[in-house]
Structure 1
């Protein structure tokens, strides 16, 4: 229906804009750093923590929109981009991003 198509377009736009915000934050972080004279990092940089937090928030927000349907689509990280449905409830939803460690980034 036209309403569903409009809702999907708005959701696509929201995700695209949020993704652009995250990528701009990363790009500025990389471009403003003096990589020749900086010491080797000992911990995760604050910008990486912020990116993971932002993506987790986007993930949770989008999942709430799909909550009424009882399922959410999860994309795998492999190149085949297989998808599968998982059950989601208001109190049991847990973002996949929270299980990522710096080694996964």
Structure 2
């Protein structure tokens, strides 16, 4: 994944409204009107959020007569998860070292030192 693509995905995910839209789409395809219902904003504002999500590749919009369905495209979320895995390993290793240190302290090991 290119850094610019990752930046676009993360920027799209930074907004709570867009995250809520994605959460709703995780339940299944729905119309723009239905997506807009829980939000206290105009349809043009919702459309702007959808455009950001679409540019990031997180949703796809279709057209079926008068119905404009939206659906989740989860591939970019996998890309973000893969990128985060490196940092997840770092924190897991750090927490494992902390756990070892705390166990040594609890056992009364006078030579216990944090790693």
Interval of TM-score (by shorter of Structure 1 and Structure 2): under 0.3
Structure scoring higher RCO (CA < 8 A, sep ≥ 6) equals: 2
Higher helix share: 2
TM-score, structure 2 normalization: 0.26
TM-score, structure 1 normalization: 0.28
Q: Report the structure number with the largest CA radius of gyration.
A: 2
